Structure 1
Amino acid sequence: MQFGIFTVSDITQDPTTGRTPSEHDRITDVLTIAQHAEEVGLDVFALGEHHNPPFFSSSPSTTLAYIAAKTSKIELTTSTTLITTNDPVKIAEDFAMLQHVADGRVDLMLGRGNTGPVYPWFGKDIRQGIDLALENYNLLRRLWHEDFVDWEGQFRTPLQGFQSTPRPLDDVPPFVWHGSIRSPEIAEQAAYYGDGFFANHIFWPASHTRRMVGLYRQRFEHYGHGTAAQAIVGLGGQVFMRKNSQDAVREFRPYFDNAPVYGHGPSLEEFTSQTPLTVGSPQEVIDKTLGFRDYVGDYQRQLFLMDHAGLPLKTVLEQLDLLGSEVVPVLRREFAKNRPETVPDAPTHASLVALRNSVKVEGGADAATKGAAFGAATVTGAGA
């Protein structure tokens, strides 16, 4: 199982000091955070995409390429890449290039975003958000799996004999997670292709997340990719820790109360009781995170939000130290207990290359060359 962190790249005033970091300071802080995540033993660093203040991350692939050059082990991904407003051709090119730069340590999460005005900024209509997500991803897959693409759709100009460059590393595209909070259509899309489904349930109760993940698992099995238990699931979460629970609550409360995303609403106590937010000791984080399995089953990736709401860099690095030394080792051990051998690990470039090679042997060179066999295969080894 993979553990990591994700950032939404917010630039928020620290309510305890009144200081708001500059864009440059916040960008360099996130670069430091990503490198420290690897140093403390985390598996994944994820960066969101936004095109409006108070966020800075308008070009995640650029930032992740820099981080790739400064790290050697950590998997780099997005949280999310906007499949609705980005051109699929550009996504195909950018992330294939990032694959090469990072020597395969790349996957990506696709989503529709949660900022309505971004659609007209890029010439799109938010009322067509689901249709854009479905059509654009279909084209993205073809660009990665086919050498030359003839294509015509509703939302962009046709393509004739188009080849995106560079080609995916080892002819194996990055693994795709479809991120959604509330759209069953996206869970259906992930299941149809045998891709991963990431439920960023940081603002939602367990009952809602259970239904969304349950739908995805059911449809994953329906499309023949494996059993429901073999579906590839990721979850979000958010934590703030101190050795002593009371110290964590006292320190984090002003950040929570003034945060743009949830400040001035439910109390900290109400929010922690109804959502995955955990503010307390490392043991409390462990206990609550292990509870996620009770309503989604065995899953593959757990990402935590830790650098938001104006928290200073020093505090975030201290949080990562606790996560890496006291929380993740225990979570690894406990999540491994009673985990069925048939439940796959989170996909990596190496595992996908091995799967492709096994399909090539079983299906014949012609099938593998055309991408027909591997294009329908998933990390479980089954085909749609």
Structure 2
Amino acid sequence: MQFGIFTVGDVTVDPTTGRAPSEHERIKAMLAIALKAEEVGLDVFATGEHHNPPFVPSSPTTMLGYIAARTENLILSTSTTLITTNDPVKIAEDFAMLQHIADGRVDVMMGRGNTGPVYPWFGKDIRDGIDLAVENYALLRRLWDEDVVTWKGKFRTPLQSFTSTPRPLDGVAPFVWHGSIRSPEIAEQAAYYGDGFFHNNIFWPTSHTKQMVNLYRQRYAHYGHGTPEQAIVGLGGQVFMRKNSQDAVREFRPYFDNAPVYGHGPSLEEFTSQTPLTVGSPQEVIERTLSFREYVGDYQRQLFLMDHAGLPLKTVLEQLDLLGEEVVPVLRKEFANLKPANVPDAPTHAARVAAKSAATPSAESSAKSAAPEGSSK
């Protein structure tokens, strides 16, 4: 089980001070948060991709390349790479390059994005969103899996005997998660390729999350990748903690009430009862997170959103200390004890390279199997 954090990179006014950080301050804060994630022993740092205010992470690979140089163990990921509006050739090149820089500590989460104006900014039509996601990802897979690609599609110019460079590290492309909140077509796409499915388990009730994950699991098995229980699932989550739950609620309430995403809507109490948002003590976060398994089954990755809604950097770093010291060690132990033997571990580059080597006969064994009966060296 991998544990980590993801950021959407919003620049939001702190409702307790009336001040918003500058873009520079917010970017530097995201870098500090990533380094803190490694310090406290988390497994993953993921950043979103946005091209509209009030968000700043428009170039995820630039940010992740910097973090790669400053860390040793952290898996670097996106929490959205816009497969609809990015050129698949550029995605293939950028993430293969990042693989080499980070010695394989890289994966990527594909998503369509939920901001309509982004599409025309990049010469696309939002009405083609699903078709773009399907065609672009099919091309991306070929660019990573094949050394020379000749291709023709609907949404970009053809390719003739094209080689994407650099090639993926060790001949193994970054592991891909397909992230979706509401689109069954994306769950289907993840299942078809045998990739991971990440449900951003923040805004929706349990029944919706269960339905989406179960669809992915059943279709994963349908396409012959394994049993439903062996499908690779990740979940988002959202927490705010203090040692005392009443202190957590009191401190977080003004941020919740004024947050651009969910402020001025349901109350904090209503939202925490209807969604996975957990505001309380570390023990309450542990219990709530363990309960996710009851409706999605055993899963491989849990990411938490902790730096949104104008929370100051000092507060976020305190949250990460609590997460790394009091929450994740317990969750690691409990999830490991509950996981059946037939459920795979979370994917890593090293494990996937080893699996590829095991599945590819060596030249010597191939020669032996091809030699005529009775022959000898």
What TM-score comes out, normalization by structure 1 length? 0.94
Matches for 1:40-79 after TM superposition, within 5 Å:
40-79=40-79
Q: Does the C-alpha gap of structure 1 residues 26 and 236 become closer, same or farther in structure 2, counting only changes over 3 Å?
A: same
Question: Aligned equivalents of 1:175 and 1:204: distance in 2?
Answer: 26
Question: Aligned equivalents of 2:121 and 2:365: distance in 1?
Answer: 45
Partner of 2:208: 208
Q: Which letter does structure 2 place at the counterpart of 1:50?
A: H
Question: Aligned equivalents of 1:213 and 1:364: distance in 2?
Answer: 43
2:28 matched to 1:28?
Answer: yes
Question: Aligned equivalents of 1:342 and 1:68: distance in 2?
Answer: 32
Partner of 1:245: 245
Partner of 2:373: none
Partner of 1:377: none
Q: Which letter does structure 2 place at the counterpart of 1:195?
A: D
Matches for 1:1-384 after TM superposition, within 5 Å:
1-361=1-361
Moved over 4 A (4+): 362-366
Q: Which letter does structure 2 place at the counterpart of 1:73?
A: N
Could you say which structure has the larger radius of gyration? Answer: 2
How far 1:363 moved relative to its partner?
11
How far 1:342 moved relative to its partner?
1.1
Secondary structure of the corresponding residue to residue 236 of structure 1: strand
How far 1:338 moved relative to its partner?
2.9
Count of equivalent residues: 366
Unaligned ranges ≥5, structure 2: 367-377
Question: Aligned equivalents of 2:20 and 2:248: distance in 1?
Answer: 22
Question: Aligned equivalents of 1:362 and 1:286: distance in 2?
Answer: 46
| TM-superposition CA deviations, 1:42-85 (whole Å, max 9, x none) | 00000000000000000000000000000000000001000000
Unaligned ranges ≥5, structure 1: 367-384
Secondary structure of the corresponding residue to residue 324 of structure 1: helix
Q: Which letter does structure 2 place at the counterpart of 1:184?
A: P
How far 1:365 moved relative to its partner?
9.1
Q: Does the C-alpha gap of structure 1 residues 16 and 268 become closer, same or farther in structure 2, counting only changes over 3 Å?
A: same
Secondary structure of the corresponding residue to residue 225 of structure 2: coil
- Computed over aligned residues only, the root mean square deviation of the Cα atoms, in angstroms, reads 1.2
Question: Aligned equivalents of 1:98 and 1:290: distance in 2?
Answer: 33
Question: Aligned equivalents of 2:143 and 2:220: distance in 1?
Answer: 23
Q: Which letter does structure 2 place at the counterpart of 1:283?
A: Q
How far 1:238 moved relative to its partner?
0.3
Secondary structure of the corresponding residue to residue 361 of structure 1: coil
Question: Aligned equivalents of 1:288 and 1:49: distance in 2?
Answer: 28
Question: Aligned equivalents of 2:237 and 2:329: distance in 1?
Answer: 17
How far 1:16 moved relative to its partner?
0.1
Partner of 2:372: none
Q: Which has the higher mean CA deviation after the structures are superposed, 115-124 or 357-366?
A: 357-366
Q: Does the C-alpha gap of structure 1 residues 365 and 189 become closer, same or farther in structure 2, counting only changes over 3 Å?
A: farther
Q: Does the C-alpha gap of structure 1 residues 363 and 298 become closer, same or farther in structure 2, counting only changes over 3 Å?
A: farther
Question: Aligned equivalents of 1:345 and 1:10: distance in 2?
Answer: 32
